[in-house]
Structure 1
Amino acid sequence: MKWRRRFLPDTLKGRLSILLVIVTITPIILIGFTSFYWMYRVQLEKISTSYQSSVNNEKQALEKAFDNLSSVSQLLVVDGGLGDDVIQYLSTEDPLEKTDWFLSIDKSLTNIIYSNPTVNALFFYMPDHENAIQFDSAPQRTEITLHQFEELPFDMLYRGNQLIFHAPHLSVLRGHDDLVVSLARTIEYGDHKQYTIYLETKFMELVHESSAGTPDSSSIKLLVGPDGTVKYSDIPHSIREGIKYAEAKETLNGYKIFASENVNGWSLYSLIPLGEYQKEIRQWQKQFLVMGGLSLLVTIAAASYIWRMVYRPLQNINREIKRFSYNQTEGRKLQTRLQEFDMLFGNFQDMREKIVELLYEVEQKEKRRGELEVEKLRAQINPHFLHNSLNTIQWLARANGQTEIYNLVKVFTRVLHYNLGKSSMIVTIKEEIKALRDYVELQNIRYDYRFNVQIEPDPELGDVPIPRFVLQPLVENALYHGLMSEHGDIIVRISRTEKDTVSITVSDNGKGIQPDKIKELQEGNRSAGLGIGLNYVEKMLDLYYDNRAEMRIESILNEGTSITISFPDRLTGKEEAND
């Protein structure tokens, strides 16, 4: 495809480099992105949950403080509480009795204060008496004692029946600058008379110390009443008390806001600066980037190692192949300490040795072929003169009416012409059989037809190629060395034994061959006369069929001999050779 040709290099080095880069970067991107996304979400949710849990705890602490103030005030009411003693104290006129009631009430209040350490201050406000504030747990500030209780600047947070809960304000105690939340409970008695109980508890311990050690320990607090008005603010310069929270919210773009609402309508807000809120996230991101960078470096190092481990051995074997192309001597042995590449190099060395052997074998075959050509050329020098002389005799015999002489010379000339032919050394089985018939006819004329040669070819094998002059030496060997007398039978069978194999068997009913003589023939030790023709046939088969042709000799004394050659129906060596 065009895009592959454009973007993919045509070298293993280039493609392997691209592959290593892709394999290195892709997992880091996919796993890193997935991990970063989900871990970021988990981390963000964890931080948000922690902040939200903190503001919930602060709201619960504030609720618990209000409930505790309400419970303490319940101990001071009439009809079962300390309020009954207070009414007795207010109603008696006897100084001694009044003193006793005062001491009794003061003792009870002391026990209540000690049993509720979160109560910061307590007093009774009695507007019908000369000393309006009595039974106080500690001295109050002067501005408290000089004003009527109703005139004190306490902003109400919310009301619950007879209970009024005040928003954070300064403590009424002298010398105390703490912010507190307070409760005022009015109790009626007698003829439309009433007194008020005042209780307070520290506010900052509820909304800051309750979250000490949590992520929002430096957070900013807002307390908003049921009417949506800001009752308390840690940043009065930005958000003033008394303004609507909805208006103030527009100025809080630099904060992450967490809120917790009370069932009575008031809400506690925790404002976290975005820098503080994202501090842990940024720290985690830095750690993630550091670990991702280290992972990338490790992966690149591993990829580089894989690159060297794969490519360098390939370079070495390529270098050996190039060297072998111009120098077939034995090269150095390569060791990579990797079984796969060592096995590959070992196979290459085996292949190199086999190629060297094949080159040597081809060289030797060409050398033998040249020797055969020289021998054949030498043998043709005198036979050419003989051939021309026989042609002259043939035409003289015909001119003088010597028919038998003429026929004999004609057949002999054809046999000689075929054996000395300068055309291709490869003929067909059909041509080889024709030449054999001429040779047999010539021998029959010579021996007055006293032996019989039967040729049984497979008609379908007529066009199968075969080296020239293969059948005649086999028949000649059976004729001169196999028959017991001048009378005998020779059978030539040509057939296909396998799908691609041709078999030629020459059998006679002669005297047979001694076993030791057969062994000599099979080992190549052929004496002159008996094995010259067989030696020629074996060399031709070896030259044109390599190791795929074979010759077998089977003989039984006084019964006969069979010589069989098997060869492929296609040539594997040189197909043509000129005279």
Structure 2
Amino acid sequence: MDSMGAGSRRWRNVIWPDTLKGRLIILLIVVSITPIALIGFTSYYWMYKVQLEKISTNYQSLVDNEREAVEKALANLSSVSQLLVVNGGLGDDVLDYLNSTEPVDKTDLFLRIDKSLTNIIYSNPSVNGLFLYLPEYENAVQFESSPLKPAFSFNRLEDHSFKLLYQANLLSFNSPHPSVLKGHDESVLSLIRKIDYRSNQSYYIYLETRFGDLLHTFTNTLIGSQVKQLLTDKNGTVMFSELTPEIPEGTQLSANDARLEAYKQFSATSSQGWMLYFLVPLTSYEKEMNAWQIQFIGVAILSLIVTVLAASYIWRMVYRPLQGINKEMKRFSYKQDEQSALKTNLQEFDILFSSFRTMREKIVELIYEVEYKEKRRGELEVEKLMSQINPHFLHNSLNTIQWLARANGQTEIVNLVKVFTRVLHYNMAKSSMIVTIQEEIGALYDYIELQNVRYDHRFNVKVETDQEINDIPIPRFVLQPLVENALYHGLLSEHGNITVTIGKAAHNRVYITVVDSGKGMSAEKIQELVNGQGNRQSGLGIGLNYVKKMLEVYYGHNAEMVIESIMDEGTTITIVIPDQLTGREADA
């Protein structure tokens, strides 16, 4: 099982590596090949169909056009023969010629007919030649546009060897055959029209047009020159073939004929039933398709190469800067002081490295700061141990002094020590930094009494408080520094007054106001005291800076301290705090 799991993990790492480099390579390969495969397959499929249909449509259009050309040529022969019929045409002159017995009239008519026939030939360039066949004359062939070949000196036109393509009433359209005219070797289509002029008497009109001019008229391309053409009548008999000896004339032909397997067939059927075939060799037919496929494959390979190059460039563009940044991070782990100027020439990575450089500088500063603080902490521990005094020893010593003073009748000393002991006990208590307002006011009274004893009752401090707020919690040493500030920085003489007012404010808040009628303070002096820059050697040494920090710790932005002072008139300090603690209650 373990080997199977390890093998599975190996294959998973091959398919989806656990490194950025490996995954980036896999993704680039996928996004490069997938569009080419999908678009290429779709394009190839549809373009193949379109190209195939286009080629087939082109060949079908060619065979249709050629079929129309043959039909027009045969129709033109029919139209020309119409000029030679009796009743309204040249046939009337022919009829007069046949009925005339006068040599002079007969000669005039002959010349007129001959001239008319010559005009017909010149006005219809597609008509290769014509003649009239007069059975009752010894020289049956007359008015020929050109001498006939000896092989076609007819005794009876009915005995001709032309193969009938189709019959339309008295019109006989013959399949392609050699021209009957001397000096003409081309293949022609011919028309024989029978004209009845007397009871049981007729004459015939022969017209021919060049068939060779109609072949390959629309197939002059390289592939077109390889096209073979067949002409069959409505029964499927081959009347003309360019595929001899495979498909000789006179044989029957069907659409599924085995002789056509090597060719792509295109056919067009005329309204008279005869059919014209285009036979394109499969090798030639597929050659154009193969040429298109080669072009498509070439374009696909070129696209793949361009995509791979672009993917490779993207890989280098993304991975190398990350590799450089990773190197710098590793170097920072053991060389914090070494600076580097890595440039990736990419704005995003340069910004990232700049942020890393800034972070590195801050980390170095923090390391130095921590080292300094640890060093200073050790020094403070030594100082603390050296300056630590046992509170019990101090209390016991004061109790001894109080007992001796009482034994010797020193009442003032007894009261002074008693008050000082309470103040010292309140200040050095370790149980909690949170007290009630009532406890804070009690400690304030002790502090004032101690100061009055020290300065022979020089200060008049009045405390006004609301009994409803006695149990509200408050940080230790909030009132005492405010009164101490008024004593040492406000009053000019023992005749000054200090008023402390504590009460409830709106929105569940408590206000504390300390007002003195002393000499006042300048704005600079107030700023020094709030920032802890004033002289703290008087009193207990706890100043306004301490109060400000306590309010920030326990109330945050919910506390407010305002100091208003007018020179030679006095100072007012107002504190507004919530009736509930919001800061470090764990210290309570």
Shared fold, TM over 0.5: yes
Alignment correspondent of 2:197: 189
Find the counterpart in structure 2 of residue 137 from structure 1.
145
Contact map agreement 2:422 2:446 (CA 8 A) in 1: no
**TM superposition shift of 1:56:** 1.9
Aligned-residue CA RMSD (Å): 4.8
Aligned-partner SS, 2:302: helix
Counterpart in 2 of 1:447?
452
Give 1:429 shift.
2.4
1:41-440 superposed matches below 5 A: 41-92=49-100, 101-145=109-153, 148-174=156-182, 176-213=184-221, 216-246=224-254, 249-329=257-337, 331-357=339-365, 374-381=382-389, 385-393=393-401, 412-413=420-421, 415-417=423-425, 419-420=427-428, 427-430=432-435, 434=439, 437-438=442-443, 440=445
Contact 2:444–2:479 (Cα < 8 Å) also in 1? no
Q: What amino acid does structure 1 have at the position aligned with 2:162?
A: F
Alignment partner of 2:209: what SS?
A: strand
Q: 1:533 to 1:360 in 2, by over 3 A?
A: farther
Taking a change above 3 Å as real, the CA distance of residues 488 and 496 of structure 1, as seen in their structure-2 partners, is same
- Is the 1:219–1:272 Cα contact (8 Å) retained in structure 2? yes
In 2: Cα distance, 1:88 partner to 1:446 partner? 168
- 2-structure distance, mates of 1:477, 1:378: 31
The answer for the alignment partner of 1:491 in structure 2 is: 500
Change (3 A) 1:455 1:541: farther
SS of 1:56 mapped into structure 2? helix
User: Counterpart of 2:71 in 1: which secondary structure?
Assistant: helix
**Structure 2, gaps ≥5 residues long:** 1-11
Contact 1:481 1:530 in 2 (8 A): no
Q: Deviations over 1:1-46 (max 9, x none)?
A: xxxx997655555555455445444444454444444444443333
Q: Helix, strand or coil: the match of 1:275?
A: helix
Opposite residue 143 of structure 2, the aligned amino acid is F
Aligned to 1:570: 583
**Separation (CA, whole Å) in 1 of partners of 2:281 and 2:470:** 103
3-state SS of 2:226 partner:
coil
The 2-side partners of 1:364 and 1:331 are apart by 23
Overall identity of the aligned pairs, in %: 54
The amino acid of 1:229's aligned partner reads T
TM-score, normalised to structure 2's length? 0.76
- Matched position secondary structure for 2:125: coil
Amino acid at match of 2:160: L
Q: Which amino acid aligns with 1:182?
A: S
Q: What is the one-letter code of the residue matched to 1:233? A: S
Partner Cα separation in structure 2 for residue 344 and residue 274 of structure 1: 64
Deviation at 1:206, TM superposition (A): 0.9
Which deviates more from structure 2 when the two are superposed, residues 49-58 or residues 283-292? 283-292
Range that drifts further, 284-293 or 359-368: 359-368
Say which is worse superposed, 384-393 or 121-130, in terms of deviation.
384-393
Whole-Å Cα distance in 2 between the matches of residues 53 and 519 of structure 1?
103
Cα drift, residue 264 of structure 1: 1.7
Alpha carbons of structure 1 residues 503 and 373: separation in structure 2 relative to 1, 3 Å:
farther
TM-aligned CA deviation for residue 58 of structure 1:
1.0
**Quick check: 325-334 or 66-75, which moved more?**
325-334
State the Cα deviation string for residues 305-363 of structure 1 (Å, max 9, x = none): 34443444444444444544555447334444444444444444444444555555556
Specify whether residues 84 and 528 from structure 1 end up closer, same or farther in structure 2 by C-alpha distance, changes over 3 A only. closer
Structure 1 residues 513 and 211: CA distance shift in structure 2, 3 A:
closer
2: CA distance between counterparts of 1:356 and 1:253?
87
Inter-partner Cα distance in structure 2 for 1:115 and 1:420: 140
Displacement of 1:535: 6.7
Q: What secondary structure is seen at the aligned counterpart in 1 of 2:65?
A: helix
Q: Which amino acid aligns with 1:444?
A: E
Contact 1:57–1:211 (8 Å) recurs in 2: no
For normalisation by structure 1, the TM-score amounts to: 0.77
Q: Is the 8 A contact 1:510 1:560 kept in 2?
A: yes
For CA contacts below 8 A with separation 6 or more, give which structure has more relative contact order: 1
CA deviation map 1:194-214 (0-9, x unaligned): 222222222121122354349
- Cα 1:262–1:401 shift into 2, 3 Å: farther
Q: Which amino acid aligns with 1:183?
A: L
Provide the C-alpha distance between the structure 2 equivalents of 1:502 and 1:104, rounded to a whole number of angstroms.
142
Distance in 2 (CA, whole Å) between partners of 1:453 and 1:479 is 13
Measure how far apart 1:61 and its partner are: 1.5
1:177-234 Cα shifts (integer Å, max 9, x gaps): 4322111112223341222222222212112235434963432212121233332222
Question: Matched residues in 2 for 1:67 and 1:157: separation?
Answer: 14
Q: Which amino acid aligns with 1:285?
A: Q
Deviates more, 1:516-525 or 1:132-141: 516-525
CA distance in 1: counterparts of 2:219 and 2:287, whole angstroms: 18
Distance 1:558 1:209, change over 3 A: closer
Q: Which amino acid aligns with 1:430?
A: V
Mapped to 1, the partners of 2:358 and 2:54 lie a distance apart of 67
Is the alpha carbon distance of 1:235 and 1:489 closer, same or farther for their aligned partners in structure 2, counting shifts above 3 Å? Answer: same
Letter in 1 for 2:250: G
Q: Distance in 1 between matches of 2:182 and 2:420?
A: 157
**1:386-415 Cα distance to aligned partner (Å, 9 max, x none):** 344235556788999999988865664454
Gaps of 5+ in 1: none
- Quote the offset at 1:159 in angstroms: 0.8
Cα 1:406–1:311, aligned 2, differ >3 Å: closer, same or farther?
Answer: farther
The Cα shift of 1:134 comes to 3.2
Structure 2 counterpart of 1:136, one-letter code: E
Q: Distance in 2 between matches of 1:363 and 1:455?
A: 50
Structure 1 window deviating more from structure 2 (100-109 vs 223-232): it is 100-109
Change (3 A) 1:388 1:151: same
Does the 8 Å CA contact 1:432/1:469 hold for their aligned counterparts?
A: no
* Matched residue SS, 2:293: helix
Q: Work out the CA distance in 1 between the residues paired with 2:357 and 2:470.
A: 45
The 10-residue stretch of structure 1 (68-77 or 357-366) with the greater mean CA deviation from structure 2: 357-366
User: What secondary structure is seen at the aligned counterpart in 1 of 2:254?
Assistant: helix
Q: Note the C-alpha offset of 1:162.
A: 0.9
Q: Distance in 1 between matches of 2:450 and 2:112?
A: 171
Q: Distance in 2 between matches of 1:371 and 1:470?
A: 30
Contact preservation (8 Å) 2:486, 2:498: no
Rate the CA distance shift 1:94–1:556 in 2: closer, same or farther, 3 A. closer
**Counterpart-to-counterpart distance in 2, 1:328 and 1:440:** 57
Indicate the SS of the match to 1:270: strand
Do the aligned partners of residues 404 and 275 (structure 1) sit closer, same or farther apart at CA in structure 2, a change above 3 Å counting?
A: farther
1: distance between equivalents of 2:464 and 2:380? 29
